[in-house]
Amino acid sequence: MTQKDIYIVSLLYKVFEQIPISKEEIKIELENTFSSLLGKDAMKFLFDELNDSVFDKIIYQASELAYVKVSEKRNKNILKYSVFQNIFENRDVDYSYSYSLKKLDLLSVFPEKITENKLESDKVQKYFKEMLKELGKINDSKQILYILEKYLWNISCENERISNDVSLFDYVKTLSAIAVALFKLIDNNIINETELGDLNIQDNMFLLVGFDFTGIQNFIFNIKSKKASKTLKGRSIYLGLLSRIISKYVIRELNLCDTNILLNGGGAFYILAPINYEEKIEEIRENIIRQILQFHGIEIYLSIDMVKLSRKDFQSISEKWSELREKLNAIKFQKYSFLEENEFYTYFFEKKQNKNKECSNCSNTDNELVINENNTQVCKLCDSFSKLTEDMKNTKFLSLSEIEKKEIIKENFDLYSVFKAFGYDLKFNKKGRENYLVNSTEFMEEKYTGFIFGSYQLPLNNNRIITFEELAELSEGDHKLALLKLDVDNLGYIFSQGINKDNSLTKVSMLSRMMNTFFEGYINELAAGQTFRNSIYIIYSGGDDSFLIGPWNKVIEFAIKLRQDFNRYVCNNKYISFTASIGVFNPKYPIVRSAEITEKYLQKAKNANISYMGKENIPIKNKISIMGYIFNWEELNKINEIKDFIVNLIEEKKESRSILEKIMKSTIGFERILKESVDGKLHRLRFHRLAYYLRDLETEDSKMIIDYYKTIVIDNILKKNKEEKIKNIMIIPVSVRLAEMEIREREN
């Protein structure tokens, strides 16, 4: 029995057990392929169902630890229900949202409200036979995991002990991680085969290891260059790739498998390891931190720590997860405690003063300088960030090749040198040992290793990356640039309390993967679609947050559409939302300062007028800041609507621009009416008086504006949810300002 045997068997055994195709058919389809990958005993266990073997004991124990608690009202359905619909809700209700029987792609990830659960058996058979055909074509065991994700992301586990909002893919992936860790315990003589059936529920047998980057935003925006678009994007992509490479480096050093990386996204990843790896992980931790310190100084840091897991912890992982998060946060205040005194002094106080060798981008004086495409003197690292963006503009795939770890000369390095220091060579669109198709799951057509989702789409003009100044010129009317920053509200609550009594390791991993699918994958499909193509520049997106730049009118439209799609993705669950901030700036204003201001207003929006809902007393944020004013999302929709209404009055009805000032003045009369409507009151007399503020307009236009105000008030009175009511009178001034921006260039 080898680790490779356990890895493959643990991924496939439960799948073959569940899919509605006989073992004989499966064996005929796959026997030749897998006989070259597996040992004889593993082949017999996988295809002939032999019991009482070590495989049987390991798979049984791993499946026990990977299962997910479920209510008594579990429905029988091959399609998975959405995990999002019951977060913070009553779990003992019939599910109403499910996924289609479709292979994973970034446009098929939305749940649908279902009316019946039955599927035609021939369609189901065809679907799984396609999966078997792809499994029969593999030439690398790593491809198995990606094929299973592609076909089983939407398939429910047919097991009465497993919640049917958990996918079969996430179940077998977690099962495999546990099985590999159990194998290592046996292989390292920590337990023996006979003890597998008698593991004490209290015994700590595993380690949950967390890795969390800090200083990400400061690192991305640590630039001075005015032409910052390529450098910003390159720095962001680099950090995502560095996280991926370090996670693979850790797995390689620990001799574990890809499934042991439980999740990876948003600058953090988590690994499941056997209990006896503590000392080895400490060694790896120090090496990683020293390497990062050598290349990046104190700009970024990777917090690394671990917690021990017993068998009982797997069924209620949130307590251990919270403990690990607290340990990772605490490390941020004692980052370099392992350094010797002389090393500490060298890194923090002994700075080279050499203005002739200072990078014009990051002020670094350690690295060799080169002349970049803008005829500016920059260090090799900063130059490589810009080149990375250029390299990936038409990327179809990226490759990783495992190499011997290389000692890098600090005075002569680029970002690829950092990757090589961890033992990996990375390239775009050039094949290596592992090749990953970008933002598509059809990787087997080219015999790639798998697929990855990420913000690799860039706005182009004749195959040239568009600059921020050119993006501003694409704006409707006034040439302004808008920045959009957002992050998901209450993510900690969602993971710790939202899935409550069924917060197993499997479900937590799945929830994180699905968040990543939206923010690392779908958001790029939206940006690349017909409406927004070549106008939205995603600087970063992943985990639970995003930051993008574009023409002011397109960014507002994108924010509205993204929020609509996110609501649809999470089954319109009122407890799952994101808060965002839109800043509008002159393109000549420093982009770093623009980002700081937009971030400031994002934090202000997240802390503004918080209400609480449900027995869990969950804070409801769900706001949008635009131009420094904070609104709910319905108010943003109304702002966009009013803006279009005003533009129409000027361009179609031929009103003069003076209407902008007159509508602005009407804010005074409308404010009290709006406030009363939130409380369900309608005062007709006040509408009559409102005409006073619009007296200089033509009678018909004045009546149109008052009628428009009336529709807002009536909608407020009819709506039961206060979060959806129009409350902020500043919708009028902001709408007028946006209308003024839209018509400015046209009139000129």
Say which CATH number the domain at 278 has.
3.30.70
Considering the domain boundaries, does residue 269 fall inside one? yes
3-state secondary structure of 81: strand
Which position has the higher pLDDT, 557 or 331? 557
pTM for the full predicted model: 0.90
Average pLDDT of span 4-32: 92
Q: Token pair for residue 236?
A: 């962001």
The verdict on residue 381 lying in a domain is no
Residue 74 has pLDDT above 60, yes or no: no
Q: Where a domain ends, among 404, 429, 452?
A: 452
d(CA 731, CA 721): 19
Are 602 and 638 part of one and the same domain? Answer: no
Segment 269-304, tens digit of pLDDT: 999 999 999 999 999 999 999 899 888 888 899 999
pLDDT band at 72 (very low <50, low <70, confident <90, very high): very low
Do 666 and 539 lie in one domain? The reply is: no
Q: Picking from 206-210, 538-542, 593-597, 722-726, which range would have the lowest pLDDT averaged per residue?
A: 722-726
Residue type, 523: I
**Side chain identity, residue 724:** E
How many CB atoms are located within 10 Å of the residue 273 CB? 24
- 116 and 168 in a common domain: yes
Tell me if 543 sits within 8 A of 525, measured CB to CB: no
What is the average pLDDT score of the chain? 85
The predicted structure's pLDDT at residue 52:
67
Answer with the residue of higher pLDDT: 370 or 365.
370
Examine the domain organization and report whether 584 and 659 are in the same domain. Answer: no
Per-residue pLDDT at 357: 74
Number of domains in the chain: 4
- Can you tell me the distance from the alpha carbon of 261 to that of 509, in angstroms, rounded to the nearest whole number? 10
For residue 349, what pLDDT is reported?
A: 64
Give the residue-averaged pLDDT of 696-702.
Answer: 61
Is 387 a residue whose pLDDT tops 60? yes
What integer is the mean pLDDT of 714-729?
A: 68
Domain stops at, among 588, 606, 627: 627
666 has a pLDDT exceeding 70: no
User: Would you say residue 96 has pLDDT above 70?
Assistant: yes
Q: Do 441 and 414 share a structural domain?
A: yes
Inside any domain, residue 369: no
User: What is the per-residue pLDDT for 574?
Assistant: 85
Average pLDDT for 525-533: 93
Q: Is 378 a member of any domain?
A: no
Residues 654 and 746 in one domain: yes
The per-residue pLDDT for 374 is 78
Q: Residue 92 pLDDT more than 60? A: no
Has residue 385 been placed in a domain?
no
Q: What percent of the chain has pLDDT over 90?
A: 47
The most confident of 286-295, 322-331, 413-422, 560-569, by mean pLDDT: 560-569
Average pLDDT over residues 1-14: 94
Q: Are residues 7 and 102 in the same domain?
A: yes
Of 86, 76, 81, 125, nearest to 100 by C-alpha is 81
In this prediction, residues 409-422 reach a mean pLDDT of 86
DSSP letter for each residue of 121-147: HHHHHHHHHHHHHHHTT-SSTTHHHHH
The predicted pLDDT at position 623 comes to 92
Structural domain range at position 511? 454-627
pLDDT of 348 reads 66
Mean pLDDT, rounded, for 194-211:
79
Q: Are strands 537-542 and 464-465 parallel, antiparallel or unpaired?
A: unpaired
Element at 715 (helix H, strand E): helix 699-718
Neighbours of 290 (CB within 10 A): 14
As a whole number of angstroms, the distance between CA 748 and CA 743 comes to 9
Please give the pLDDT value at position 71.
Answer: 47
Residues 641 and 591 in one domain: no
Q: Does a structural domain hold residue 548? A: yes
Domain match, 563 and 513 both:
yes
Confidence (pLDDT) at 125: 92
Which residue is it, tokens 């005015």?
Answer: 226
* Distance in angstroms (rounded) separating the CA atoms of residues 642 and 209: 51
Is the CA virtual torsion 562, 568, 570, 574 positive or negative?
Answer: positive
The 3 state secondary structure assigned to 242-297 is HHHHHHHHHHHHHCCCHHHEEEEECCEEEEEEEHHHHHHHHHHHHHHHHHHHHHHC
Lowest mean pLDDT among 111-115, 145-149, 542-546, 604-608: 111-115
Written as six digits, the tokens of 38 are 């597996």
First to last CA, the chain: 77
Q: Is residue 386 part of a domain?
A: no
Taking residues 201-211, what's their average pLDDT?
A: 87
Tell whether 609 and 652 lie within a shared domain: no
Is residue 135, in this structure, part of any structural domain at all?
A: yes
Q: Which residues of 453-476 are buried (b: 16+ CB within 10 A; e: fewer)?
A: bbbbbbbeeeeebbbbebbbebbb
Residue 136 has pLDDT above 80, yes or no: yes
Residue pair 380/336 in contact (Cβ under 8 Å)? The answer is no
Q: Is 112 exposed, middle or buried (0-12, 13-18, 19+ CB in 10 A)?
A: middle
| For range 315-334, the mean pLDDT | 86
Question: In whole angstroms, what is the distance from residue 171 CA to residue 76 CA?
Answer: 17
Three-class SS state of 531: coil
Rank 349-358, 481-490, 638-647, 680-689 by mean pLDDT and report only the highest. Answer: 481-490
Domain boundary among 592, 627, 662: 627
Query: Is the same domain home to 266 and 139?
Result: no
Q: Kindly report, residue by residue over 433-475, the tens digit of the pLDDT.
A: 999 999 999 999 999 999 999 988 899 999 999 999 999 999 9
pLDDT band for position 116 (cuts 50, 70, 90): low
DSSP lists the bridge partners of residue 551 as: 481
> Domain containing 584 — which CATH number?
3.30.70.270
Tell whether 657 and 747 lie within a shared domain. Answer: yes
For residue range 607-621, list pLDDT tens digits in order.
887 777 766 677 888
Q: Say whether pLDDT at 363 is over 70.
A: yes
pLDDT at 748: 45
Give the span between the Cα atoms of 250 and 419, in whole angstroms: 13
Of the pLDDT bands very low, low, confident and very high (cuts 50, 70, 90), residue 583 is very high
Let me know: does 604 contact 513? Beta carbons within 8 Å.
no
